[in-house]
Structure 1
């Protein structure tokens, strides 16, 4: 099938929205529409002028539009130049990848630019990992908080670390998601800031999230006949909102995070901002940004099917429904994808998650207080506590006095602030224990001459069921049962042991199981090595894995245990899946020296990765570089 013609796609796009542009010229601010108009201006100027006249664009608006299109082209050109990545940055990123620190490094960089809100940063980053898995449902993140609380900065700082070609950030019409997203690469991120959902936005996002792995289709009828727009697979949504008020189906698709919002945190953020204003090393930040982008691009160049061999030991309590478990499962797979270089594969090539991946996923899931229908925002919790303090019955005036929120803000929280049918999904719709009753009262008083003796007034009373309980502490509803070391559960490790033990002769599976049963399986987690099943095995058993070496960039303290080097089944480190012995043997075959081009001739890795691999060998494994190439420590310079 021929690739799509961008000019024809631009013509089709503008045709579909021409009538809307006539009614509302402000749609010209839409980045998708601007991109299509830019394509037409450069490649079909006659059609460009025709469309502007058809849409009744005035001369003043046209001049502004042309200026905007010129500026957009200049910014695009600058971004293309800026994304030329130096070899040393690629090499450093590759070392981080090969040692399993990808997630930790990106998170540390994000946290150095945004103070606090760690759970929001982790959720945004891990959603990208889920895009590199073929058996995930997608992690879509909504960050909530009052105006000025830092929710937009959470997404801004994460967006800076993404490769620009994978990000669509800004206001757009609902249908523009289809028009623009189909031109983006697989695994793109679409980000909205301070979104207020209406039915059209809700419908588009439901389709895209439902068809996460395949891409969503949108069919329109044009003058030339029917046309179908299709988004790319594995698109993830990031958005911010004051209140996450939309229907249950859409709420169920988003993993919700509240930003930190307290006087103490605000003071800390102001101090943090002052430190940055005093001067930061722009060169260091730019280098870190490029390293993160290289890591993300590498991750997006892979697609994994991830299995969780210990899934039958994951126990969930009441309150975790199917969607909640799917999000947890996707997080486990996403952490595993970030650490693909240090994770084993089964005999069908599937990536095998380790218990470390579950532990990190559970920590993030619990930090965000899980996922469920009755997960309340901080503002909603404030109103519910006020109702309890008012004796479970209160008017707007009562709630205003207790919460110190305005009556308008309280009505938004209780009734919803969305548009169309989405407006109905406030706290009254979310909390089944909360009801509202219209109460009428008659006031009697001594009238003046000719005045009535009474007056009737009406107001809303909000009633909370007295059985309702609101806990200030989130109790985890997920845990991993202890492993039972019997033959049945250890057979999943047989494939690894066969490779390790087999010396060319036939190996009996029962004999292998007996060997496994004699292993010391009671060692502490800190001394364990991750086996093919994701379970941990004794250092004294078949693995000879060495401890992870330190990397050239600073690592976070949370990533110091539970992750081993990328190894074969015998424990030898690997770079891009190839053992150190492979590189040494290949150097011997090539006269003791390796060049990127000769290494790439073998076909195992491309020339770009060959450069990175050789730089890692030089920086971490004692290899030397001279005019003739790279050679291992065992080779003399004159040989």
Structure 2
């Protein structure tokens, strides 16, 4: 599989055997775990948002079964538990599933992701009031599932931000699968599927290496306003290449093995990057799916002024308070979550007092204004492509050959 097949597709097929849909989420988790093996990667971490009960936890539980047991860490964690976890190994996947990220946990997350290539050190005192140094190992990747996001822009900016599929069509597919499973006789063997074991061995066989992108100077972006996003695309390319390392050109240097990424690796990474900036995520905008749906509904009206009641009519499945929360944000467990007024520059609000024609009755309300031109300028930054360079077209390895030096 590693030398002649498609290991990414094999893992996706095994994931799909236990979880319906959410392929982009699965791809993000695969790329994230692969990034730990890329020596010159800054690490890829994943934030999945979506409504409660739509499959975020199940997606994490399914994918984590596909990686070796010694590199899994899930379940509930206190703010400082990671610093004292004796079984936490370098390169582990740390799952935080639908819990509120306290300020301390968010600071830890920012510190660990910034210090991806080296251990993160935390100094404290023990019960005897003596100094103690605690360490979170290097190259750990974080998988975070939240309904409303993290609430901290600095955390959002460090992660691949994707949405769980909570569409009615997905609901129907999940129900069909559940009904089919309920009609089957139980499996008497109750063993781990062979495909899962193969996936675990795939990860075990991947060796750390540097990855070079020979055509990197040909990569173009429609926007570089967020300086972390171009780096994430490059790390996506490197992750694709490292998974296919036994099918890629390799060079031995004093610093170690160097894998040469091909244009096919860029194509796969580019498709993911564009999906995360389109129908499956909010990489550039940092929007949740519900926020994106509200914006798309506003756009379709071709209007520029709305009250909350009028906006609720655009999304009849949302309550009045849910619309207010999408616009203004909210708080949960002392953590603040930004709304569209903070995230999207095309929306503004004004306190307005309306007076009846005879001047006898007045009503004060908040009115939200929509700027279409500003939205177009803000939302057009999720594209990437490879500029043509005839002088190097034959050197980019587009065929994905396995030549070695």
TM range (shorter): 0.7 to 0.9
Kept in 1: contact 2:345–2:375 (CA 8 A): no
Q: Distance in 2 between matches of 1:424 and 1:289?
A: 37
Aligned: 1:380 with 2:291? yes
1:480 alignment partner in structure 2:
386
Instruction: Please point out which of 458, 478, 485 is paired with 2:364.
Output: 458
Q: CA deviation at 1:443?
A: 7.2
Q: CA deviation at 1:135?
A: 0.8
Instruction: Please point out which of 133, 157, 174 is paired with 1:228.
Output: 133
Deviation track 1:337-368 (CA, whole Å, cap 9, x = no partner) reads: 11111222224131111122111111111122
Kept in 1: contact 2:162–2:283 (CA 8 A): no
Q: CA deviation at 1:122?
A: 0.6
1:409 alignment partner in structure 2:
322
Q: Distance in 2 between matches of 1:442 and 1:484?
A: 67
Q: Distance in 2 between matches of 1:391 and 1:231?
A: 51
Aligned: 1:351 with 2:256? no
Q: Distance in 1 between matches of 2:120 and 2:326?
A: 32
Aligned: 1:361 with 2:269? yes
2:204 alignment partner in structure 1:
297
Q: CA deviation at 1:98?
A: 3.1
Aligned: 1:266 with 2:171? yes
Higher helix share: 1
Please, what TM-score do these two structures have when normalized by structure 1?
A: 0.57
Please, what TM-score do these two structures have when normalized by structure 2?
A: 0.87
Q: Please say which of residues 356-365 and 277-286 is displaced more in the overlay.
A: 277-286
Kept in 2: contact 1:171–1:192 (CA 8 A): yes
In structure 1, the gaps of 5 or more residues are 1-95, 446-452, 491-520, 522-532, 537-561, 570-639
Q: Distance in 2 between matches of 1:475 and 1:276?
A: 43
Q: CA deviation at 1:234?
A: 0.9
Q: Distance in 1 between matches of 2:191 and 2:323?
A: 45
| CA 1:330–1:268: 2 relative to 1, 3 Å | same
Instruction: Tell me the secondary structure at the aligned position of residue 256 of structure 1.
Output: strand
Number of residue pairs aligned between Structure 1 and Structure 2: 393
| CA 1:118–1:249: 2 relative to 1, 3 Å | same
Based on CA coordinates, which of the two structures has the bigger radius of gyration? 1
Kept in 2: contact 1:100–1:338 (CA 8 A): no
Kept in 2: contact 1:114–1:153 (CA 8 A): yes
Q: Distance in 1 between matches of 2:225 and 2:180?
A: 42
1:616 alignment partner in structure 2:
none
Kept in 1: contact 2:38–2:239 (CA 8 A): yes
RMSD across aligned positions (CA): 2.9
Q: Distance in 1 between matches of 2:382 and 2:107?
A: 32
In structure 2, the gaps of 5 or more residues are none
1:426 alignment partner in structure 2:
339
Instruction: Tell me the secondary structure at the aligned position of residue 156 of structure 1.
Output: helix
Q: Distance in 2 between matches of 1:206 and 1:568?
A: 38
Q: CA deviation at 1:156?
A: 1.6
Instruction: Please point out which of 99, 109, 127 is paired with 1:205.
Output: 109
1:435 alignment partner in structure 2:
348
| CA 1:372–1:118: 2 relative to 1, 3 Å | closer
Q: CA deviation at 1:213?
A: 0.8
Aligned: 1:396 with 2:308? yes
1:75-86 correspondence runs (5 A):
none
Deviation track 1:593-630 (CA, whole Å, cap 9, x = no partner) reads: xxxxxxxxxxxxxxxxxxxxxxxxxxxxxxxxxxxxxx
Q: Distance in 1 between matches of 2:217 and 2:258?
A: 18
Kept in 1: contact 2:226–2:284 (CA 8 A): no
1:11 alignment partner in structure 2:
none
Q: Distance in 2 between matches of 1:133 and 1:113?
A: 28
Q: CA deviation at 1:104?
A: 2.2
Q: Distance in 1 between matches of 2:302 and 2:18?
A: 41
Q: Distance in 1 between matches of 2:351 and 2:380?
A: 34
Q: Distance in 2 between matches of 1:444 and 1:176?
A: 64
Deviation track 1:486-511 (CA, whole Å, cap 9, x = no partner) reads: xxx49xxxxxxxxxxxxxxxxxxxxx
| CA 1:397–1:295: 2 relative to 1, 3 Å | same
Q: Distance in 1 between matches of 2:15 and 2:230?
A: 27
Q: CA deviation at 1:161?
A: 1.1
Instruction: Tell me the secondary structure at the aligned position of residue 240 of structure 2.
Output: helix
Kept in 2: contact 1:245–1:417 (CA 8 A): no
Instruction: Tell me the secondary structure at the aligned position of residue 255 of structure 1.
Output: strand
Q: Distance in 1 between matches of 2:272 and 2:383?
A: 13
Q: Distance in 1 between matches of 2:219 and 2:372?
A: 34
Instruction: Tell me the secondary structure at the aligned position of residue 65 of structure 2.
Output: helix
Instruction: Tell me the secondary structure at the aligned position of residue 123 of structure 2.
Output: strand
Deviation track 1:8-59 (CA, whole Å, cap 9, x = no partner) reads: xxxxxxxxxxxxxxxxxxxxxxxxxxxxxxxxxxxxxxxxxxxxxxxxxxxx
Instruction: Tell me the secondary structure at the aligned position of residue 356 of structure 1.
Output: helix
Q: CA deviation at 1:467?
A: 2.4
1:184 alignment partner in structure 2:
88
Instruction: Tell me the secondary structure at the aligned position of residue 250 of structure 2.
Output: coil
Q: Distance in 1 between matches of 2:61 and 2:232?
A: 23
| CA 1:367–1:475: 2 relative to 1, 3 Å | same
1:30-109 correspondence runs (5 A):
96-99=1-4, 101-109=6-14
Instruction: Please point out which of 156, 166, 170 is paired with 1:251.
Output: 156
